[in-house]
Amino acid sequence: MNLDVQNKTVLVLGLGRSGVAAARLLAERGARVIGVDNAENEALQTAATALRAQGVETRLGVGQLGSVAADLAVLSPGFSSKNELLCAVESAGVPVISELELGFRFCSCPVAAITGTNGKTTTTELCAAVLRAGGVVAPAAGNIGRAFCDLLRRGDAKGANVERLDAVVLEVSSFQLERIEQFRPRVSVMLNVTPDHLDRYASMSDYAAAKERVFMNQQSEDLAVVNADCLGDFASLRQPGAPRRLVFSARGRREGCALWLEGTKIFSAQAGELLDMTSTHLRGPHNAENIMSALAVGEAFHVPLDVARQAIAAYRPLPHRCEFVAEIDGVSYVNDSKATNTDAVEKALAGFDRPVVLIAGGKDKGFDFAALNEMLRRKVKLAVLIGETREKLASSWSPAVRCARADTLKAAVQLARQNAQRGDVVLLSPACSSFDMFQSYEDRGNQFKQIVRTLASGQEISRAKH
């Protein structure tokens, strides 16, 4: 499994968080590393300075590489298949792997890989909490927190105990899975597959095929934890030698399901009632999917059920995921900035039994927004639209809900406040990427929280559990 990079020339394409971690790991293992990036901003310049101190050659603002002489290239997930640098590397016959694959080649412990369209981060955190409570040393990494390669660096004080890890819980994206070769999780989790990243993939089937690669190298002694809703999409799970399957459902008991949700209770085919969600800080069927996945991962690593229950009950949702911010004049303000696709918005709306004023919009990712119309009719009294998609959203949603437009997020919050009544919810759940107006979904959510808290200043802010 290990990759011999001693004295080899390795290109790292993209110097974001994953790329920097890959470059550092490679340099530590004796490679001659050249880090390149098309962009040249202040953050990249800071990263490049730190990498050069470790002996990594860096090239920023690179339009073309010229001659390409390398033994291997490691691709950051943000690079599309049409990127000119990547095309030049491939044309030169240089093997290309993802940062995920690179990390796996240097990882000596089992991996639990969490993927799906929505819920990955919450589930990764839940799984890590369950394993930690059971005495399993298994940090969360990947798309969450630390990059996988950063976790594996021997020279990093934070990674000094890497050889003593029992496992790693990884949040894994379709982008990372595109370039795996040997990556083989002992446990894989497929939470759901719904429309997303259609600006990168030609079709939903292409997107699902990228997700399906998480099962590619699993063997019969490995475990695939799969949502019943998307099980039929994955023919590889029906092939000889496929991993064992544990199927769950948030839509009641279904044939072949080991775990399912009825009302607020999660049941097991073997043990009966396992957990009542009212004993946790998580709500809604989508969070039931996350909890069932964490229970399955805990069982795979021999964590006692009572211990897993206690860890899940203690877990609190991460920021920007249906995060309660404040109550102003009887109206609850909720930050769901992480909802960057239509399925995430649908799941957020399904969790509320009160009228919603929805703030949505951002950078278009190629969705059919009209797919939300039935949910909008039932749940939303007004949609306040921002960003580059606001006209497209208005065109799609006007048959289902009254729409208004705002030029800024602050103006959107003010307009939502004017139209909300006591008992309503003002929900930021954009259904779009943030990069038209913000640095990230976190930046968007933090700005929303600051705007709301400014409105609430001088008032008693009631905090509640959602």
Question: Domain end: 314, 349, 365, which one?
Answer: 314
Closest CA to 206 of 217, 197, 219, 216: 197
Identify whether residues 77 and 109 lie together within a single domain. Answer: no
Identify whether residues 368 and 276 lie together within a single domain. Answer: no
Note the pLDDT of residue 321.
85
Closest CA to 373 of 348, 396, 353: 396
Q: What is the pLDDT of residues 100-112, one digit of tens each?
A: 999 999 999 999 9
CB 318 within 8 A of CB 125: yes
Identify whether residues 197 and 264 lie together within a single domain. Answer: yes
Q: What band does 462 get if pLDDT is binned at 50, 70 and 90?
A: very low
Note the pLDDT of residue 387.
96
Identify whether residues 90 and 200 lie together within a single domain. Answer: no
Q: Which two tokens stand for residue 303?
A: 């964590």
Is the pLDDT at 48 greater than 90? The verdict is: yes
Residues of the chain with pLDDT > 90, as a percent, come to: 74
Note the pLDDT of residue 99.
95
Closest CA to 358 of 412, 312, 286: 412
Q: What is the pLDDT of residues 315-339, one digit of tens each?
A: 987 788 888 888 899 999 999 999 9
Q: How would you label 241-261 residue by residue, b for 16+ Cβ within 10 Å and e otherwise?
A: ebbebbbbbbeeeeeebbbbb
Q: What is the pLDDT of residues 358-412, one digit of tens each?
A: 999 999 988 899 999 999 999 999 999 999 999 999 999 999 999 999 999 999 9
Specify if 214 maps to a domain: yes
Looking up residue 33, the CATH number of its domain turns out to be: 3.40.50.720
Note the pLDDT of residue 317.
79
Is the pLDDT at 447 greater than 70? The verdict is: yes
Note the pLDDT of residue 1.
60
Identify whether residues 153 and 84 lie together within a single domain. Answer: no
Identify whether residues 292 and 350 lie together within a single domain. Answer: no
CB 337 within 8 A of CB 430: yes
Specify if 3 maps to a domain: no
Identify whether residues 232 and 378 lie together within a single domain. Answer: no
CB 332 within 8 A of CB 425: yes
Identify whether residues 262 and 368 lie together within a single domain. Answer: no
Is the pLDDT at 38 greater than 90? The verdict is: no
Note the pLDDT of residue 464.
37
Identify whether residues 62 and 176 lie together within a single domain. Answer: no
Quick one: average pLDDT of 430-438? 95
Backbone φ, ψ for residue 53 (5° rounding): -65, -20
Specify if 415 maps to a domain: yes
Note the pLDDT of residue 458.
56
Give, rounded to a whole angstrom, the gap between the first and last alpha carbons of the chain: 44
Could you list the residue range(s) of the whole structural domain that residue 29 is in?
9-94
Looking up residue 438, the CATH number of its domain turns out to be: 3.90.190.20
Weakest-pLDDT range from 83-87, 248-252, 366-370, 444-448: 83-87
Q: What is the pLDDT of residues 258-286, one digit of tens each?
A: 999 999 999 999 999 999 999 998 888 88
Is the pLDDT at 348 greater than 50? The verdict is: yes
Q: Based on the structure, what is the number of domains in the chain?
A: 3
Higher pLDDT, 7 or 352: 7
Q: What band does 353 get if pLDDT is binned at 50, 70 and 90?
A: confident
HSE on the CB side for 262, CA within 13 Å?
Answer: 11
Specify if 465 maps to a domain: no
Q: How would you label 392-404 residue by residue, b for 16+ Cβ within 10 Å and e otherwise?
A: bbbebbeebbebb
Note the pLDDT of residue 402.
97
CB 424 within 8 A of CB 357: yes
Q: What is the pLDDT of residues 147-201, one digit of tens each?
A: 999 999 875 445 445 667 999 999 999 999 999 999 999 999 999 988 777 778 8
- Reduce the secondary structure of the chain to three states and give it as a string: CCCCCCCCEEEEECCCHHHHHHHHHHHHCCCEEEEEECCCCHHHHHHHHHHHHCCCEEEECCCCCCCCCCCEEEECCCCCCCCHHHHHHHHCCCCEEEHHHHHHHCCCCCEEEEECCCCHHHHHHHHHHHHHHCCCCCCEEECCCECHHHHCCCCCHHHCCHHHCCCEEEECCHHHHCCCCCCCCCEEEECCCCCCCCCCCCCHHHHHHHHHHHHCCCCCCCEEEEECCCHHHCHHHHCCCCCEEEEEECCCCCCCCCEEEECCEEEECCCEEEEEHHHCCCCCHHHHHHHHHHHHHHHHCCCCHHHHHHHHHHCCCCCCCCEEEEEECCEEEEECCCCCCHHHHHHHHHCCCCCEEEEECCECCCCCHHHHHHHHHHHEEEEEECCCCHHHHHHHHCCCCCEEECCCHHHHHHHHHHHCCCCCEEEECCCCECCCCCCCHHHHHHHHHHHHHHHHCCCCCCCCCC
Residues of the chain with pLDDT > 70, as a percent, come to: 95
Specify if 466 maps to a domain: no
Is the pLDDT at 253 greater than 80? The verdict is: yes
Quick one: average pLDDT of 142-147? 86
CA–CA separation, 458 and 327 (whole Å): 12
Output the pTM of the full model.
0.78
CB 336 within 8 A of CB 360: no
Q: What is the pLDDT of residues 204-233, one digit of tens each?
A: 889 899 999 999 999 999 999 999 999 998
Q: What band does 466 get if pLDDT is binned at 50, 70 and 90?
A: very low
Q: Which two tokens stand for residue 298?
A: 């805990």
Q: What is the pLDDT of residues 93-136, one digit of tens each?
A: 999 999 999 999 999 999 999 999 888 989 999 999 999 999 99
Identify whether residues 270 and 143 lie together within a single domain. Answer: yes
Identify whether residues 195 and 269 lie together within a single domain. Answer: yes
Is the pLDDT at 64 greater than 70? The verdict is: no
Q: What band does 305 get if pLDDT is binned at 50, 70 and 90?
A: very high
Note the pLDDT of residue 274.
96
Quick one: average pLDDT of 61-89? 84
Q: Which two tokens stand for residue 361?
A: 């919009």
Question: Domain end: 253, 283, 314, which one?
Answer: 314
CA–CA separation, 122 and 138 (whole Å): 16
Note the pLDDT of residue 459.
47
CA–CA separation, 250 and 266 (whole Å): 9
Question: Domain end: 266, 283, 314, which one?
Answer: 314
HSE on the CB side for 125, CA within 13 Å?
Answer: 17
Identify whether residues 125 and 271 lie together within a single domain. Answer: yes
Specify if 156 maps to a domain: yes
Specify if 200 maps to a domain: yes
Note the pLDDT of residue 360.
98
Note the pLDDT of residue 160.
42
Specify if 462 maps to a domain: no
Residues 6+ apart with CB under 8 A from 387: 361, 362, 363, 430, 432, 436, 437
Note the pLDDT of residue 157.
44
Note the pLDDT of residue 465.
37
Q: What band does 56 get if pLDDT is binned at 50, 70 and 90?
A: very high
